[in-house]
Structure 1
Amino acid sequence: MAISPNILAELAFLQAQVDAANPLASASRATLTAIKLNAAQLVSDIQDALVAPSILDTFVAPVDGTSIVQGILTVSQAAIDQNRLSLMRGLTGRAAANLNQVPS
C-alpha cells in the first residue's frame, strides 16, 4: 500500500492554497471556505485510505525463501506507509481544526 498520488496532490494543493491566502485573517470568506472544504476532504480521503483493506490485512506468508523475503519487504513497506498515513491524518485533522477557528 503506497500513499495515493491523489492524497499527495490534494495535500500539495491545500498547501498552495494556504500559502496564496496568507495571511488567513485577511483572506476573503470564499477563499477561507474553499480552504476549509479542501482540508476536510483531505482528512476524509486519508481516513478512507487508512480503513481500506491492505496487504497488512490480507498477507499470507509464502513457503519458499525468496518469496518470504519479498513478502516481508512488502509488508514492511506497507506498515511504513500506514504509519505515514496515520501521522498525516493527525496533522491534517489538526490543521483542519485550526482552519475552522479562523473567522470567516
Structure 2
Amino acid sequence: MALCALIYEAYVLNKGNEIDIAGLTYGIIDGKEFDGELHQTLHILSAWIDDMGIGVKDIQGHEYLILSLDDKPGALFDSVHALLALSFLHEEPACEAEDGAAS
C-alpha cells in the first residue's frame, strides 16, 4: 500500500535519466514505519510543486513530500535542477486551468 511519506534534508541522486531522492523519512511505506531514518526512494516517475514542498511519486506508486533539502557543505546538489525541471513538466498549463474554471 502506497502512502505519502515526508522527507527532510533530502538530496537528489541522478544517474543517466533516473532520479532518486534520499533523506530523513517519516511515514509508512509498504507497511514499514520510518521515523527519521535515512531512506532512498525508487526511481522518480513524476514530481510536482506542492504548497509545502515538492511532491514526488516513484515507480512503485509511493508518494513523498520533500519538505527541506540538505544544505550541508558537500551535499549532492548537482541534480536538484533535474528534479525541479521534472516537477514543472507535470504542472497543469495555466490556459487549461482557466478553461476548466470557466466551464
TM-score normalised to structure 1 length: 0.30
Structure showing greater relative contact order (alpha-carbon pairs closer than 8 Å, 6 or more residues apart): 1
More strand by share: 2
Structure with the greater alpha carbon radius of gyration = 1
More helix by share: 1
